[in-house]
Amino acid sequence: MKTIGILYHLARADFFERTRRYSFLVMLGLVLWLSYVLASGQFRIVIQPRYLGVIDSTWVGATMTLGTTMMLGLVGFYLVKGSVARDYTTGVGQIMATTPMSRLLYMLGKWLSNYAVLGITVVILALAGIVMNLWFGHGGLDLVYLVGPLVLIGLPWLGLVAALAVLFESVTWLRGGLGNILYFVLFMALISTTIVPADLGTPGFADNPYIDFTGWQIISDGVTRAAQAAYPDAGGLGFGDFELAGEPAFFVYNGIRWTTTILVSRLLHLFLAVGLVMLASVLFDRFDPARLLPVKRRAAAPEPAPAPAAEPIPVSSVQLTPLSGTETRFRFGALLSAEVKLFLKGQRWWWYAVGAALIVAQLASPSGWVPNLLIAAWLWPILILSGLGCRESRFNTRQIVFCAPRPMSQLPAGWVSAVLVLALLGSGALLRFLLAGDPVAVLGWLTAIVFIPSLALALGTLTGSGKAFEALYVLWMYLLTQKAAPLDFAGLVPGSHFYLFALVAIGLLAIAALARQRQLQAT
Amino acid sequence: MTLEIGPGVLGLLGPNGAGKSTLMRILATITRATEGGVTWNGTDIAQKPDELRQVLGYLPQDFGIYPNLTGQEFLEYMAAIKGMDAKTARRRIEELLIVVNLVDAAKRPLRGYSGGMKQRVGIAQALLNDPQLLIVDEPTVGLDPAERVRFRNLLSDLAGERIIILSTHIVSDVEATATEIVIINKGCQVQRATPGKLLALLDGRVWQWVVPEEELARLKQASLVSGTVRRADGIQVRIVSETAPAAEAHPVAPNLEDVYLSLVSQDGGGR
């Protein structure tokens, strides 16, 4: 009982700490937006070439479940990751390390807290589903069909995501940016192996739900069967902002046939999540810096010995030269150079190597690959971009930075440095657009390098954290790879109104300026 | 609280929660006062904060650094933010690294610095622009004894034509450097005077003698005990009192700790 009590309080305190942060509100906003996109049909399940399900509880349940697993599976990881890191930076971890609490208990507490936060998002999606059902639906509301797949497929998958976040935080080298990138690669690999392209229409893993973590094949199997029963030419399932090839035709989807195998597989996924947490507890260093990897230890040079107490060096031997008459004035060039240095400092050689490879790939690859390479190149500096507007909060430098003359001028300097980095990383594609004489593509490119830092700056100054941007940006870029035209700020999807994002960028910059003003007054 | 501050070192003393750090943040243009105002050479700093920020050096009580920058790079970054030209900044940083004893560590990333070394980086950034107003909040926290002495000497050297406002709980730091001391409690000024005048307040009112250990609890209830030292024959106590509290008690010279405790206890203690 005592152990359960500790676990409860650990998870509870962590949950409260997260949900009382301003960034949590932004996260809720993101999930609400996601709910709206799904409920309004902007993102929907489509059976090729032009078939849609009749909107009822089973159809809404399937839509919301795929939204949960395909989108929250990616973005949720970034939303919940960082709890252990916070215990490091706040020093709370070191206090916890001196208590009898075991590593397993600590990790279980973190997992439960992660799970609770992700659970809230599922509740929001379920509520949005109910609204969608009542507003657009035919027939009555059947909660079992609507909520069932969310609970039985969505929640076990999010349990795994919550456990992966804990696992990544338990390993020193996965705690930071490398872990974030690795998860993105893993997720994309999982999605690309799970999802059979919509035009093929042959479910690949339908008979093996044990490895169908996202539930894609379980839902896809039932939906395609129902469509093919009504329309023999019905093809594969697509989930996204798909254009229909002709007038839509509707079919009735009767929901998932819950077999024992499917139910057992979901239970096993939950056990797997607990297993991952146990593995995390083994790998976790329990806030002991001495357990750092040998590489890190070598990098940390020994401190110079302090001056002996008995013989303090008299300060009079090192007089400071007075600077009287030296005017300090606004030097944007110097400020920009300092910001760029701060921006890029601390990146390892491989970060530059991958960046360079992405530029070369944009130049050398077939033209059809360029959009996705550009997305990858602009996603690459996500961890640098997410520091925009919130670096001072993250590193607690607000007081010394904000009392400098013209503290607002740091904002444009940071923004321009981000624009320069994005321009460099996307320079291969720009060169190709210019050589091809494609002014629309060039305009799209320009819009993107202006819009992305504006979004980062606005979210950073508003939330005081990079988490909201990281989560939204990853999701946004993922949806761009899925050709979501309304979200295209870079002119990568034919026919998109990307230029509108230039106006949005101006609005975001105004928001950032107001939020910084608020930060300056609230420090 | 009304203060007019001229050149010299002004020491701020007060219990936890007295408002020292809030006052310093207001003076450093970080926090906007909800009531009242602050002027710098006649300019309202709430209206025109940059007038003061040009000549301000500020070391907060709790501050962070950018862990991936080296000590030197961090100072270069702060110099750029303060609008210093590169040449002047470079020369100044070289001197400051010597002054704060960080020359050997200047090229190492800040993430490897100890608490005391980070504090010294903080001191250096506050002095970058040769400030006319230097505000330092608990500056000697984390410094070893040698570095503490070095910093106190530095403050004394710097105090000339500039204003230094120093807040600390270490009374000996204030005693060693302050030309004037303000004691605040619950957001109000309790006393403002030179160290000599403050000490004179308790002339002949500080007593010292040795008591048995079991007597100490009763004394603490009845009188203001400003210090105790354990000895082989009992506990040597130090008490602030108008009259001799015991026949064996003998008067001793007051120190600033006696004065501070006496004034704060008269004002109703801390929060």
For every residue of A109-153, which 3-state class applies, written as one string? HHHHHHHHHHHHHHHHHHHHHHHHHHHHCCCCCCHHHHHHHHHHH
Q: Do B83 and A330 lie within an 8 Å CB cutoff?
A: yes
Residue with tokens 């079919």: A251
| Alpha-carbon gap: A338 to the closest alpha carbon of chain B (Å) | 5
* Chain B residues touching residue A303 (CB < 8 angstroms): 105, 112-114, 117
| A311 in a structural domain | no
Tell whether the model's pLDDT for residue A410 goes beyond 80: yes
Query: From the candidates A297, A323, A410, which should be mutated to test the interface with B, based on the most B CB atoms within 10 A?
Result: A323
Report the range of poorest mean pLDDT among A47-56, A303-312, A479-488, B35-44. Answer: A303-312
Report the range of poorest mean pLDDT among A93-107, A302-316, B36-50, B244-258. Answer: A302-316
Higher per-residue confidence, A506 vs A409: A506
Q: Give the pLDDT mean for B32-54.
A: 90
Is the Cβ–Cβ distance between B52 and B37 less than 8 Å? no
Q: For residue range A11-61, what is the model confidence (pLDDT) as tens digits?
A: 888 888 888 877 788 778 888 888 888 888 888 899 988 899 999 999 999
Same domain, A126 and A208: yes
Whole-angstrom distance, CA of residue A367 vs CA of residue A370: 5
Tell whether the model's pLDDT for residue A1 goes beyond 80: no
| A305 in a structural domain | no
| A304 in a structural domain | no
Instruction: Look at residue A295 in the predicted model and tell me its pLDDT.
Output: 47
Q: Which of A159-173, B20-34, B165-179 has the highest mean predicted lDDT (pLDDT)?
A: A159-173
Of A311, A321, A397, the CB nearest to B63: A397
- Residue count (chain B): 271
Structure tokens given for B21:
């750090």
Q: Mean pLDDT for chain B?
A: 89
Q: Beta strands of A204-294 (E only): which ranges?
A: 237-240, 249-251
Is the Cβ–Cβ distance between B66 and B91 less than 8 Å? no
Instruction: Look at residue A160 in the predicted model and tell me its pLDDT.
Output: 96
What residue type is A443 in one-letter code? Answer: L
Whole-angstrom distance, CA of residue A118 vs CA of residue B229: 57
Chain B contact for A319 (CB, 8 A cutoff): yes
Q: Do B122 and A324 lie within an 8 Å CB cutoff?
A: no
CB pairs under 8 A between A and B: 161
Q: For residue range A335-383, what is the model confidence (pLDDT) as tens digits?
A: 899 999 888 887 889 899 999 999 999 999 998 899 999 999 999 999 8
Q: How many domains does chain A have?
A: 2
Structure tokens given for B216:
């100490």
Full DSSP string of A378-413: HHTTHHHHTTTTTHHHHTT-HHHHHTSSSGGGHHHH
In Å, how far are A199, A308, A412, A510 from A409, measured between CA atoms? 52, 43, 6, 14
Tell whether the model's pLDDT for residue B213 goes beyond 60: yes
What residue type is B114 in one-letter code? Answer: S
| Alpha-carbon gap: B242 to the closest alpha carbon of chain A (Å) | 39
Instruction: Look at residue A101 in the predicted model and tell me its pLDDT.
Output: 82
- Residue count (chain A): 523
Of A308, A410, A523, the CB nearest to B146: A308
Instruction: Look at residue A82 in the predicted model and tell me its pLDDT.
Output: 87
What residue type is A179 in one-letter code? Answer: G
Residue with tokens 């999701």: A475
In Å, how far are A87, A385, A393, B31, B134 from A460, measured between CA atoms? 21, 9, 9, 21, 31
Closest CA to A455 of A396, A519, A389, A393: A389
Closest CA to B63 of B148, B151, B125: B125
Q: Do A400 and B60 lie within an 8 Å CB cutoff?
A: yes
Instruction: Look at residue B269 in the predicted model and tell me its pLDDT.
Output: 59
Same domain, A243 and A370: no
Instruction: Look at residue A385 in the predicted model and tell me its pLDDT.
Output: 94
Q: Give the pLDDT mean for B114-141.
A: 91
* Chain A residues touching residue B145 (CB < 8 angstroms): 309, 312
Same domain, A270 and A339: no
Same domain, A287 and A363: no
| Alpha-carbon gap: A340 to the closest alpha carbon of chain B (Å) | 10
| A322 in a structural domain | no
Same domain, A144 and A288: yes
* Chain B residues touching residue A310 (CB < 8 angstroms): 146
Residue with tokens 């710097």: B158
* Chain B residues touching residue A324 (CB < 8 angstroms): 130
Chain A nearest-CA residue for B22: A523
Q: Do A399 and B83 lie within an 8 Å CB cutoff?
A: no
What strands lie across the sheet with A51-53, from one edge to the other? A237-240, A44-47, A51-53, A249-251
Query: From the candidates A298, A315, A327, A416, which should be mutated to test the interface with B, based on the most B CB atoms within 10 A?
Result: A315
Could you tell me the pLDDT band of residue A290, with boundaries at 50, 70 and 90? low
Q: Mean pLDDT for chain A?
A: 86
Of A324, A331, A402, the CB nearest to B85: A331
Q: In sequence order, which residues have a C-beta less than 8 Å from that of residue A398 and are 6 or more positions away? A: A392, A519, A523
Same domain, A267 and A160: yes
H/E stretch holding B193: strand B188-193
Tell whether the model's pLDDT for residue A124 goes beyond 50: yes
Report the range of poorest mean pLDDT among A326-330, A442-446, B129-133, B245-249. Answer: A326-330
| A308 in a structural domain | no
| Alpha-carbon gap: A469 to the closest alpha carbon of chain B (Å) | 20
H/E stretch holding B190: strand B188-193
Tell whether the model's pLDDT for residue A467 goes beyond 90: no
Q: Answer positive or negative: Cα dihedral of B95, B98, B100, B104.
A: positive
What residue type is A448 in one-letter code? Answer: A
Chain B nearest-CA residue for A323: B130
Is the Cβ–Cβ distance between A449 and A416 less than 8 Å? no
Q: Do A328 and B68 lie within an 8 Å CB cutoff?
A: no
Instruction: Look at residue B104 in the predicted model and tell me its pLDDT.
Output: 93
Q: Do A338 and B31 lie within an 8 Å CB cutoff?
A: no
Q: Give the pLDDT mean for B137-149.
A: 86
* Chain B residues touching residue A340 (CB < 8 angstroms): none
Closest CA to A495 of A444, A445, A461: A444
Q: Which of A31-40, A439-448, B226-235 has the highest mean predicted lDDT (pLDDT)?
A: A439-448
Could you tell me the pLDDT band of residue B264, with boundaries at 50, 70 and 90? confident
Q: For residue range B107-118, what is the model confidence (pLDDT) as tens digits?
A: 999 988 988 899
CATH tag for B7-50+133-202 (out of 3.30.980.20, 1.10.3720.10, 3.20.20.240, 3.40.50.300): 3.40.50.300
Give residue A340's domain range. 332-522
Chain B contact for A474 (CB, 8 A cutoff): no
Q: Give the pLDDT mean for B171-177.
A: 86
| A382 in a structural domain | yes
| A263 in a structural domain | yes
Closest CA to B141 of B21, B265, B262, B7: B21
CA A95 to chain CA mean position, Å: 30
Q: Give the pLDDT mean for A89-118.
A: 87
Instruction: Look at residue A155 in the predicted model and tell me its pLDDT.
Output: 95
Structure tokens given for A150:
């969310």
Could you tell me the pLDDT band of residue A291, with boundaries at 50, 70 and 90? low
Tell whether the model's pLDDT for residue A504 goes beyond 80: yes
| Alpha-carbon gap: B212 to the closest alpha carbon of chain A (Å) | 35
- For the stretch A25-30, contacts whose Cβ atoms lie closer than 8 Å and that sit 24 or more positions apart, written own/partner, are A26/A459, A26/A462, A26/A463, A26/A468, A27/A79, A27/A121, A27/A467, A27/A468, A27/A471, A28/A120, A28/A124, A30/A75, A30/A468, A30/A471, A30/A472, A30/A475
Query: From the candidates B34, B70, B81, B143, which should be mutated to test the interface with A, based on the most A CB atoms within 10 A?
Result: B81
Could you tell me the pLDDT band of residue A308, with boundaries at 50, 70 and 90? very low
Instruction: Look at residue A146 in the predicted model and tell me its pLDDT.
Output: 93
Of A304, A309, A310, the CB nearest to B105: A304
Same domain, A50 and A198: yes
Chain A nearest-CA residue for B27: A403
Whole-angstrom distance, CA of residue B93 vs CA of residue A320: 10
Name the domain boundary from A294, A322, A352: A294
